[in-house]
Amino acid sequence: MDISVITDTFDEWTDVILSWISDNGEGLFDFIRAVLEGTYDGILWLLQLAPFYVIAILAAALGSRLVNIWFGALAGLALILCAFMGLWAETMSTLALVMTATVLALFIGIPIGVVAGFSKALDRVLEPVLDLIQTLPPYIYLLPAIALLGYGPATALIATVIVAMPPAIRLTSLGIRMTPREFIELGQATGLTPWQMFAKIRLPFAIPSIMAGINQSLMMAFGMVVIAGIVGSGGLGETIYGSIRTLDIATSINAAIAIVILTMVLDRLTQSAVDRAKETDR
Amino acid sequence: MNTMNTINNANEVLVECQSVWKIFGARSSAAAKAVSERGLSKSQVLNEFNCVVGVSGASLQVRRGEIFCIMGLSGSGKSTLIRLLNRLVEPSFGKITVKGKDIASLNAGELRDMRARNIGMVFQSVALLPHRTVLENAAFGLEVRGIAKDKRNEIARAALEKVGLGDWTTRYPDELSGGMQQRVGLARALAADPEIILMDEPFSALDPLIRRQLQDEFRQLTKSLGKSAVFITHDLEEAIRIGDRIAIMKDGMIVQVGTAEQIVTKPADGYVADFVAGISKIHLVRAHSVMQPVDEYKRLHPGANLGVLLHASPEADIAELIDLTMQSDRDAVAVVENGAIIGVVTTRCLLRGVAGTSTAAVDVG
């Protein structure tokens, strides 16, 4: 028997299943799209409420408070540069996409991570799944998403959430599991209920690790949001994709610079939050 | 009423272990069964079941108001034994009672309640929560019991004042020295007002000067508050300084239980004797255990006049007896109880007491 028969049958089945899901789950996918796009639109609306210099000043203030005054000044100037390159709307769209995806990824990932921190069995099941998610090329996730949710930001968000979730799950689970033994013993000897043990002992010790997970999720989300330009995510990713197609090198470089600026500003800000969490955990 | 009870219950047993075993390992329950049915020894258990015996056949009683020290080297099972007392470790078999109640019979809620109210614990690692202030740490036990913030802070502040840290309430643990951190640990245990405090080598990591200071403070505080304590240590001098009674552990077994004097003067075996060898006896050995019977003294010193000797009580230690001997021009001191001379301590007796060979029964030239 020819091997290709098996693979062809498999491919056929995949198509059949996908179209069945898409036909029968229409209501569900409409709902998911509504939630995703609703959240995204809400955040974008908020970001566009203020003119660019207000956002730049806010970033500068936050940067000089959390990191140092030089970083704050640089962050503010860099964002103003984004506006002068004529990419302010796109920059804010990308920021809104990243924030929506990251928040959703954390919303799902942290609770799963907490449960995995307690349950060895779940952790054993999750480990290969997360490995798989992280080894597959990220644009793979765009394909089923575009089949089910169509062209637009919802597809970009779903794919980004999938890519951004693993670090949040892993590092939350690690943090919960790494509670120093003597503090578990303290909790037991003090007569803590299981819930108190979680809230008063395990969680506080896990915060630095969870914060590191948040930072990593954010970085993964940035990477994916650019790739998701292909499916019409809007924002800088789509600008780059569009300019590649027309060989408009100048615009694509401008957009790339804007992405680098946004990524570095958010990375440094969340990284300093991680450092702070570690410091209080001396 | 309350004081009456305390007086009446002075000899009340608060914690009791009856031939308690703890066996670690994959086949520990089979091993435990074999021990109870066939009376296997520790090495037989290791050979036959590949299980390690942590505690083997330990029996002890801790009375109200008593500081009970458990002394042993690392691996002797002392840390396991103390964790059996609040069921941080479940015994393989044997019975442990706290205030007359078999703790194996407690359900999860009752066990939590007992740990929160009756048995406090202080750890060698101190285990102060790094993200909480000293006051919040001291109030931790009360917080988890759901006591209102004002009330628990007030109690915690009082406990911190007792250990001399009243001015440090708003600091964080890493701003404190090791000795101060351990004081916070003690305050945290005291704030919950338990009857029994388990001390798991609390002062082992401290430098000698601070350690001595804390030992004295701990003993004084425990006695003045009328608490009972089980105190684990690997340092015999610490056990002697702190404990009313001392249990010596070796290889999971309690080899001797007694007062410091009993252990120093009558070590149960060579192992204990080795430990005791380096201990200064002058504050431990008392007149009644080194004195010579009156008849014997008279036989050896015909014509000696007992009436001219200085008097000492049977409880006088060697240091006092040496002082008395130096004051008098005789080389002996009479030991007097209820007005009658019950024995004589000669210079030879004193030397023997200091050297550590026990009792006056040995020949006296």
The residue extents of the domains of chain B are 287-355
A190 interfaces chain B, CB cutoff of 8 Å: yes
Strand partners, B346: B332
Q: Which two tokens stand for residue B192?
A: 């919950």
Q: Is B125 in Cβ contact with A281 (below 8 Å)?
A: no
B202: which DSSP letter? T
Decide if A225 is inside a domain.
Answer: yes
Check whether residue A215 and residue A119 sit in a common domain. Answer: yes
Contacts of B121 in chain A (CB under 8 A): 186, 189-190
A232 phi and psi angles, rounded to 5 deg: 80, 45
Decide if A102 is inside a domain.
Answer: yes
Closest alpha carbon within chain A to B112: A191
When CB atoms are compared, the residue of B116, B130, B131 closest to A191 is B116
Check whether residue A60 and residue A121 sit in a common domain. Answer: no
Decide if A166 is inside a domain.
Answer: yes
Chain B interface, best mutation among A188, A190, A205, A279, by max B CB count within 10 A: A190
pLDDT tens for chain B, 365 residues long, are 344 444 445 578 999 999 898 988 888 888 888 887 887 778 888 888 888 889 988 999 999 999 999 999 888 899 999 999 999 999 988 899 999 899 999 999 999 999 999 999 999 999 999 999 999 999 999 999 999 999 999 999 999 998 999 999 999 999 999 889 999 999 999 999 999 999 999 998 888 888 999 999 999 999 999 999 999 999 998 999 899 999 999 988 899 999 988 898 888 888 898 888 878 888 888 888 888 888 888 888 887 788 888 888 888 888 888 888 888 888 888 898 888 888 899 888 888 888 765 544 443 33
Whole-angstrom Cα distance, residue B291 to residue A70?
83
Closest alpha carbon within chain A to B130: A281
Q: Is A189 in Cβ contact with B115 (below 8 Å)?
A: yes
Check whether residue A191 and residue A261 sit in a common domain. Answer: yes
Decide if A44 is inside a domain.
Answer: yes
Q: Looking up tokens 């008097």, which residue turns up?
A: B311
Check whether residue A99 and residue A145 sit in a common domain. Answer: yes
| pLDDT, position B193 | 92
Q: Is B123 in Cβ contact with A182 (below 8 Å)?
A: yes
Which string of DSSP letters, residue by residue, matches A58-116?
Answer: HHHHHHHHHT-HHHHHHHHHHHHHHHHTT-HHHHHHHHHHHHHHHHHHHHHHHHHHHHH
The minimum CA-CA distance between B241 and chain A, rounded to whole Å, is 26
8 A C-beta contact, residue B187 and residue B152: no
* Sign of the torsion angle spanned by Cα atoms B151, B153, B154, B156: positive
When CB atoms are compared, the residue of B120, B131, B144 closest to A196 is B144
Order of strands across the sheet that contains B101-102: B52-63, B13-24, B93-98, B101-102
Give contacts of A 170-189 with B, CB under 8 A.
Answer: 180, 182-183, 185-186, 188-189
| pLDDT, position B261 | 86
| pLDDT, position A280 | 64
Decide if A231 is inside a domain.
Answer: yes
Check whether residue A181 and residue A79 sit in a common domain. Answer: no
Whole-angstrom Cα distance, residue B64 to residue B115?
17
Check whether residue A107 and residue A214 sit in a common domain. Answer: yes
Whole-angstrom Cα distance, residue A231 to residue A219?
20
When CB atoms are compared, the residue of A180, A190, A204 closest to B115 is A190
pLDDT tens digit string along A50-62? 888 999 999 999 9
Query: How many folded domains does chain A comprise?
Result: 2
A227 phi and psi angles, rounded to 5 deg: -60, -35
Q: Which domain holds residue A262?
A: 26-49+88-280
| pLDDT, position A1 | 58
Contacts of B145 in chain A (CB under 8 A): 191
Check whether residue A105 and residue A155 sit in a common domain. Answer: yes
- Please count the CA atoms within 13 angstroms of the CA of B339 that sit on its side-chain side: 0
Q: Looking up tokens 């101060």, which residue turns up?
A: B180
Instruction: Name the 3-class secondary structure at B133.
Output: coil
8 A C-beta contact, residue B69 and residue B197: no
Q: Is A186 in Cβ contact with B127 (below 8 Å)?
A: yes
Check whether residue A179 and residue A158 sit in a common domain. Answer: yes
When CB atoms are compared, the residue of B117, B120, B123 closest to A185 is B123
Check whether residue A66 and residue A116 sit in a common domain. Answer: no
B256 phi and psi angles, rounded to 5 deg: -160, 140
Contacts of A191 in chain B (CB under 8 A): 111-117, 141, 144-145
Q: Which two tokens stand for residue A225?
A: 């949001």
8 A C-beta contact, residue B228 and residue B63: yes
| pLDDT, position A12 | 86
Check whether residue A34 and residue A120 sit in a common domain. Answer: yes
Contacts of B144 in chain A (CB under 8 A): 190-193, 196, 200
- Please count the CA atoms within 13 angstroms of the CA of A32 that sit on its side-chain side: 21
Decide if A21 is inside a domain.
Answer: no
Q: Is B115 in Cβ contact with A188 (below 8 Å)?
A: yes
Which CATH class for the B287-355 domain?
Answer: alpha beta
Q: Looking up tokens 């059949």, which residue turns up?
A: A16
Decide if A6 is inside a domain.
Answer: no
Q: Is B140 in Cβ contact with A188 (below 8 Å)?
A: no
Decide if A7 is inside a domain.
Answer: no
Closest alpha carbon within chain A to B173: A282
Q: Looking up tokens 């001015």, which residue turns up?
A: B167
Check whether residue A64 and residue A140 sit in a common domain. Answer: no
CB–CB contacts below 8 A, A to B: 57
Q: Which residues of chain A have pLDDT under 70?
A: 1, 280-282
Check whether residue A35 and residue A125 sit in a common domain. Answer: yes
